[in-house]
């Protein structure tokens, strides 16, 4: 499963002429209220060829990798939903935040063995959702707390003869 998030997220791929394809096994996205976290395997195509972190970016303008895990062989992008050129699309029932993970391979030798790739990254949120921040607090004193002293006072009228 691609994500654990408020809505749904989708990762698919678009490549230049037939080549290896990035899959949900190598790219995952987690969306929450304000951020998008994209985790990318450096073995982007599952071929054993590791992509350089500097060859990967999110959106336009190109937002760079924000973290890496050498042991897991992954890099991470952690950005606000509205940053890195992410576009917001609205439909009748969904909010859709859309962007692209770009892989632009470079080489010191002049020989590049893989193609440029743009992987669509989408976070979907339902437009209608019940939410609560507990922001409204009542300010009145409940009747039961004002009633506690009702039978505590005794009153006895006395008549005096003032003549």
The answer to whether 121 and 36 have CB atoms below 8 angstroms apart is yes
Residue 156 inside a domain? The answer is: no
Residue 159 inside a domain? The answer is: no
Question: Cα separation of 159 and 134, whole Å?
Answer: 57
Kindly give the pairing relationship between strand 74-80 and strand 67-69.
antiparallel
Residue 161 inside a domain? The answer is: no
pLDDT tens for each residue of 5-42:
333 444 443 333 333 445 567 899 999 888 999 999 99
Residue 139 inside a domain? The answer is: no
Residue 70 inside a domain? The answer is: yes
Q: Which residue has the tokens 């607090």?
A: 137
Which class for 77: exposed (0-12), middle (13-18), buried (19 or more C-beta within 10 A)?
buried
Residue 49 inside a domain? The answer is: yes
Residue 36 C-beta-side C-alpha neighbours within 13 Å: 35
Residue 119 inside a domain? The answer is: yes
Q: What is the CATH number for 100? A: 2.60.40.3210
Please tell me whether the overall predicted TM-score, pTM, comes out greater than 0.85 for this model.
no
pLDDT tens for each residue of 34-88:
899 999 999 988 888 888 999 999 999 899 999 999 999 999 999 999 999 999 9
């Amino acid at each position: 499963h691609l994500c654990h998030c408020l809505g749904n997220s989708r990762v698919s791929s678009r490549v230049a002429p037939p080549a290896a394809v990035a899959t949900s096994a190598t790219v995952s996205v987690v969306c929450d209220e304000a951020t998008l976290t994209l985790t990318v395997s450096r073995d982007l195509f599952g071929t054993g060829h590791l992509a350089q972190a500097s060859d990967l970016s999110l959106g336009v303008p190109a937002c760079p990798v924000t973290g890496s895990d050498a042991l897991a062989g992954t890099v991470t992008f952690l950005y606000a939903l509205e940053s890195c050129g992410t576009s917001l699309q609205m439909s009748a029932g969904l909010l859709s935040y859309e962007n692209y993970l770009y892989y632009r391979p470079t080489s010191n030798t002049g020989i590049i063995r893989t193609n440029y790739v743009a992987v669509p990254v989408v976070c979907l949120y339902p437009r209608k959702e019940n939410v609560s921040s507990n922001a409204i607090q009542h300010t009145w004193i409940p009747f039961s707390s004002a009633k506690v002293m009702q039978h505590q006072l005794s009153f006895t009228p006395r008549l005096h003869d003032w003549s």
